[in-house]
Structure 1
Amino acid sequence: MIARRIIYIALAGIIAVSTFAQIDLPPEKFDYVLFWGDKRIGYFTYTLKPVSGGWEMRSETFMAVSADGKPGKIFMLTHWELNQFLKPYKYELSVLSDEKQKRHLTVDISGQTAHIREGDSERIIDLPENTYILETMLPDGWVLFSRKLDVSRDSALYAAALVPQIGKVLPLSLFQGNLEKTAGEKTRKFAANIGGIEIEFSAKIINRMITYWSAPAQGITIRYTPQLDKEEIQAETVSVDILKDMMPQNRLPADIEVTSPILLDRITAEIELQIDENTVILLENKYQSFAGDTAGGQITGEIKTRLETFRGKSSMAYPVGPIVEPLPGTLAPSKNIQSDAAEIVSVAKKISAGCEDIWCVAKKANRFVADSIKLGTETVSAKTALLISNGAPLSHARLCCAILRASGVPARVVGGLLLDQGFWIRHHWVEAWTGEKPGWIPIDPSTGEDMNFSPAHIQLWLDEGALKPSKDNSVRVESFELKN
């Protein structure tokens, strides 16, 4: 995914918001082509102009889509009323499908309160300080958001986002990436996260105009174009299935009810899962077996997973001295697992002090991350997770893996699905190499599991895998047993 290729240069802090006596900008009109993968399926265009007492912005997003094989055309029109500092006090969204209005909602903001109205319903929401109106499938709010950023600096932003279409305020985090040159002009990359949904964009240093915006989970990308022919794009027949291809799939409904997953002893399930083409499938381990087929990026068959209990028997002595990697790359640092970073090396020395076997180091690293790093939605590198004490499960796994490698212990990130509150959610954890006889032992630095690793984990991939969105993805539990 593109988000994984962004070079984070993130430091804990607050992005400097430009301060103005008043906003002094020329009127704007910019056009963009909208892609799904490499398919051109629509466009996005907006105008921003001064009006009496402030500013006005209007945008139009068009997408050629289909649902269950039926082609259609969707238009999303927005109207923003802004004060002289580009702060919105009214937002209006209309969604039209085949020229028929399907949705119409308005947001009125007064002070720290938002009134969202759609049809006969009204919702009143209290807004935290530094709340921005942003959508995860529409780029218009991001156009205004970029105007508030100091794109010349390297720092991080933690704020809140009001997402009108779902009527919720979600946590917003933003990390600045590297500087680049696009058509001879300097641009800055950004990686944002709204409630677990990743957004990427690039903005010019000179005027903070967005040149590129992407919602990777939905596969949507927009790119600036100096010329746009709306009629030509609307006449094209290329479309994308919004149900099958564009809906993010980070969780699946579970057909099993238990008070707590840690009470489980074993699970047998039939799985049918579409796996992202960049994913390395890994289904077999000490506590899990699979019988079925993995051809064509689809996993179909029966999976059995059981409670893994390990107390360190036959674990290799520590310090280990020179050791041959059981698998290539399981001791070396990488872009997101910076085991050679001074901060991580320092933590590794403290954690491993006094340990006489590898299992001791693995447990202490696992519990350090589980206790010290707050579980959030930001997918960041190991080093950044340590600096900000926050991160998604993948970030927890990266940091734990980095600490182990810095201690001389081979480790790797793995992942799949975790049973959590009625859903199978996308999840990542760590396997530590404890010696020839025990082999790879799982630990979960998000849940803190190590000596007793629950069968609520279904391992599917090595490193940073993902499910490919599909309405056919399913996990059907055939049987399960609880611990005695």
Structure 2
Amino acid sequence: MLIMVLKNRKHLFNLFGSSIVILWLVLIGVLVRNVNSRGGSDNPNAIEGKISAIASPQRDWMEIYLKGQKVGYSMTQINPLGENYLIREEILLTLNLMGQPTSIYMVTRSVVDKRFFLRKFNFSMKSGVVSYKISGTVDDNVMQLEIGEGKAKRAEQLRLSDPPMIGAGLAPFFKGRHIEVGQSFKFPIFDPSTMALKELVVKVADRETLVIRRLEYSTFRLEAQMLGQPMTFWVDESGTVLKEKSVMGLTLIKSSAAMAPRDIEGGGGSDFYEMAAINVKGRLREPAKLIYLSLKVEGIAEEHFDTTILDKGRQRFRSGMIEVVQEKIPIMAGYTIPFEDRSGKMKLFLKPEFNIESDNEAITGKARDIAGNIRDPSFVARKMMTWVYKNVEKRPVISVPSALEVLKNRVGDCNEHAALLTALLRASGIPARVCVGIVYARGRFYYHAWTEGFLGRWISMDAALNQMPTDATHIKLVEGGLDRQVDILGLIGKLQLKVVDYRYD
């Protein structure tokens, strides 16, 4: 009986660990501020205006709350540095993940010019045994990057369409600036966790009296949209940000060096996994055996989410209804590995990319060890999925998923399983890509990540659950790297699902 209980608990973790997808999207989407507003700006050159010089070092502390409970703090310090500014942002969060307090510590150090355009930066994130580091310099819209550390450090180059800013520079940008109701500001923000350049349009909406700890402040209320999610900032007349409010009730409030780090009790509060879950009308029994599922879907705003992904491959989307039919693995894949990409259509799915380090010697070596002399892609893909399932410890990890780091640490949730399996498949010559969507467990849907490999057709495979193909409750919302996966932010708290029909094998 005890063995059965433990097995069931492990299986549930494999599913609930999936909603960590949303947690790191919130972290990089709000705190590091990777944002994307698809609306226009009445004044696209707003950030070129006159900025009052910051002549002396300044430091601002914020307390971070999630659903009214204090879960961490942030500190932003700016120092004049010749013709530039040196900015340091520090963020500490402690959250309840499946009843376990989990801490995340992030530090961004950046040098920006007087207009707050980025010149160089260093970003690090650490949670438990997992860490992530990236640094870069900008010259003529070209960013030279170094990712990782030690022998695993690798260099990449990123071409940018515009001179970038970094999220840590947003709050200092408003210091000393005269703002008026009706103004708008457009920020080309670079996010070091996804290596993507996104655009944020902030509008000065109104004047408002803000009360913090019984003290009244005369403020400007600034509003922005992040993939359909509202963001609100309250800024006083000196340009100091007093409060920020964003996704899932995440709120930052102005504080002090003495108060900000105190009484952080997020580890004992609401379980983040349950907060990220999606309620569904109707119940599904034995979801792992489902080969067909039909759902009514509400809450998708097409201006903030590309619904074409819902109508591809094994999924069909019509008039608010989505159908998923579990795909069949072809008897013959039509090729032996490595895949010969004569048309070039599979180029993106065979080459290494950000944090899918399929050309790294450690990854290629492990892929050879697993595949041996086998050249059948379906057989190799299943061996690799099974190897990842058996060899990566299933534990909540809050970081930017890197295949190389997962192979080294052998620990992670669905993100890490998907990244490593995708890298191993590519290293062996099987086209592969990461998918993010939702999966059903215990009466609700949870955000989840898995892999698709091309075996004559695209076949889903979930290394966290050891499924190939995956059950019909795996509903794909996004495919691709982290810069694409942030599109899911537009769905948080909005999706409504109802079971219409389902079938078993």
Give TM-score, length-normalised by structure 1. 0.54
Q: Secondary structure at the match of 2:348?
A: coil
Aligned residues: 327
Q: Report the alpha carbon displacement of residue 266 of structure 1 after superposing the two structures with TM.
A: 1.7
Partner Cα separation in structure 2 for residue 428 and residue 277 of structure 1: 21
Q: Distance in 2 between matches of 1:389 and 1:279?
A: 34
| Matching residue of 1:189 | 123
AA at the equivalent of 1:425: Y
In structure 2, do the counterparts of structure 1 residues 354 and 224 end up closer, same or farther at CA, with 3 Å as the change threshold? same
Residue 370 to residue 36, structure 1, CA distance change in 2 (3 Å): closer
Distance 1:320 1:169 in 2: 43
Residue 415 (structure 1) aligned to one of 432, 436, 450: 436
Partners of 2:371 and 2:327 lie apart in 1 by 24
* Displacement of 1:482: 3.4
Letter in 2 for 1:418: V
Look up the equivalent residue of 1:139 and give its one-letter code.
S
Distance change in 2, residues 1:367/1:326 (3 Å): farther
Higher relative contact order (CA 8 A, sep 6+): 2
Alpha-carbon distance in structure 2 between the residues aligned to 1:453 and 1:34: 33
Match of 2:367 among 348, 354, 360: 348
Counterpart mapping for 1:48-87 below 5 A: none
The CA RMSD over aligned residues, in Å, is: 5.0
Match of 1:443 in 2: 461
Q: Which amino acid aligns with 1:428?
A: A
Amino acid at match of 1:377: V
Q: In structure 1, which of residues 387, 391, 397 is the aligned counterpart of residue 408 of structure 2?
A: 387
Q: Given residue 172 of structure 1, which amino acid in structure 2 is its aligned partner?
A: S
Cα shift at 1:181: 3.0
Q: Is the 8 A contact 1:410 1:432 kept in 2?
A: yes
Contact 2:310/2:477 (CA < 8 Å) preserved in 1? yes
Q: 1:353 to 1:475 in 2, by over 3 A?
A: same
Structure-1 residue corresponding to 2:340? 322
- d(CA) in 1 for partners of 2:172 and 2:36? 12
Match of 1:403 among 401, 424, 443: 424
CA distance 1:290–1:449, shift in 2 (3 Å): same
Alignment of 1:166-315 (within 5 A): 169-174=100-105, 180-182=110-112, 188-192=122-126, 222-223=171-172, 234-239=218-223, 246-247=247-248, 250-274=276-300, 277=304, 281-292=308-319, 301-310=320-329, 312-315=330-333
Contact kept, 8 Å, 2:93 with 2:104, in 1: the verdict is no
Q: Any conservation in 2 of the 1:362–1:404 contact (CA below 8 Å)?
A: yes
Larger helix fraction of residues: 2
User: Counterpart of 1:377?
Assistant: 397
For the 8 Å contact 1:34–1:223, the answer to whether it is kept is no
Tell me the TM-score normalised to structure 2 length.
Answer: 0.52
Q: Deviations over 1:431-455 (max 9, x none)?
A: 11112xxx111111121101x4200
CA 1:182/1:289 → structure 2, altered by over 3 Å: closer, same or farther? same
Post-superposition shift, 1:235? 2.9
Checking the alignment, whether the CA contact within 8 Å between 1:161 and 1:170 is kept in structure 2 is no
List alignment gaps of at least 5 residues for structure 1: 8-32, 40-56, 62-75, 77-92, 96-101, 106-133, 144-159, 203-210, 215-219, 293-300
Q: Deviations over 1:351-387 (max 9, x none)?
A: 2213231101111121122222223233411111211
Question: What is the percent sequence identity of the aligned residues?
Answer: 18
Structure-2 change in CA distance of 1:382 and 1:35 (3 Å): closer
- Post-superposition Cα deviations, 1:328-370, rounded to whole Å, max 9, x if no partner, equal 4111111121111111011111122132311011111211222
1:259: Cα distance to partner?
4.3
SS at match of 1:453: coil
- Structural mapping, 1:355-366, within 5 Å: 355-366=374-385
Counterpart contact for 1:266–1:480, Cα < 8 Å: yes
Given the superposition, is the C-alpha separation of residues 417 and 201 from structure 1 closer, same or farther in structure 2, using an over 3 Å criterion? farther
Q: Aligned partners of 1:405 and 1:326: how far apart in 2?
A: 14
Bigger Rg over Cα: 1
Question: Relative to 1, partners in 2 of residues 1:59 and 1:174: Cα closer, same or farther, differing over 3 Å?
Answer: closer
Partner amino acid, structure 1, of 2:462: D
More strand by share: 1
Q: Give the Cα separation in 1 of the matches to 2:436 and 2:346.
A: 17
Q: Is the Cα–Cα contact under 8 Å of residues 291 and 326 in structure 2 kept in the other structure? A: yes
Letter in 2 for 1:365: M
Q: Is the 8 A contact 2:276 2:446 kept in 1?
A: yes
State the one-letter code of the partner of 1:475. L
Contact 2:94/2:103 (<8 A) preserved: no
Amino acid across the alignment from 1:351: I
